[in-house]
Structure formats: C-alpha cells, structure tokens
Amino acid sequence: EVQLVESGGGLVQPGRSLRLSCTTSGFTFGDYGMNWVRQAPGKGLEWVGFIRRKAYGGTTEYAASVKGRFTISRDDSKSIAYLQMNSLKTEDAAVYYCTRDQGDGNNAKGDDYWGQGTLVTVSS
C-alpha cells in the first residue's frame, strides 16, 4: 500500500525557517518525481514545487511565489522528500501536502497519491 506521511509542521514566526519531511512507503521512491502542494485555510490548491528522480538529475522546479525561499530535496536511501522553507511569510500559512507524481519522473503530471498534510502556521 502506497503511503506518504508528512511531518514537521507547526507554528513559526515570520522570517523564520521550517523543514517538512515526507516519509514514504509501498513503492520504489527513487522511480518517481515528487511534488509539494499547499492549501491555505478555506482556499484552493496551489502547486509549490517538484523534484525529478535522480535518473533525471534530481532537479527541481518551483512556483514563483516560493522560488528562492523554498528548497525541495530527496533522500532515496530513506524514501523521504523534504521541503525546506526559509524566510516564511504570513501568506505561506497552509496545509502542505506531499504527493507522488504520476509521470515519468522527469515531466510533472500531477499527483496520484497524497499524504494527509501538515499544517504550517506563520504568525508572530
């Protein structure tokens, strides 16, 4: 059974940093690209970024709203994806979902499996 479990959310002050983890099981993690998607309270879904599988360099893509502040990485030996969030703003407050991309690991195609999400609150 495919499982994705996010952790690391919580309350953080504006300007501070937070790192989210996505621990996965039930599939060969290294064969897939991974996305992060967020949802502000009562709002719609927003794609945050994508990391390719190592076979395609493990390179990353980001939404303009987080580029330069957020970094996605992966540890294939542990089947974990990470989202490092720096210089957090109040508008970054959201539930953050880790997702498995349904594509070939190079071209993002959207999300066939989702974690349960972790809440990030940004407030002083």
Partner 1 sequence: DIQMTQSPSSLSASVGDRVTITCQASQDINNYLNWYQQKPGKAPKLLIYDASTLETGVPSRFSGNGTGTDFTFTISSLQPEDIAAYYCQQYDNLPLTFGGGTKVEFK
Which of the residues 75 through 114 are near partner 1 (CB under 8 A)? 97, 102-103, 107-112, 114
Which of the residues 26 through 55 are near partner 1 (CB under 8 A)? 35, 44-47, 50
CB of 43 to partner 1, least distance (A): 9
Of 29 and 62, nearer to partner 1 (C-beta) is 62
CB of 114 to partner 1, least distance (A): 4
60 burial class (0-12, 13-18, 19+ CB within 10 angstroms)?
middle
Q: Are 120 and 85 in contact (CB under 8 A)?
A: yes
Q: Are 83 and 48 in contact (CB under 8 A)?
A: yes
Contacting residue, 63, 69, 71, 86, with partner 1 by CB under 8 A? 63
Owner of token pair 């994806």? 81
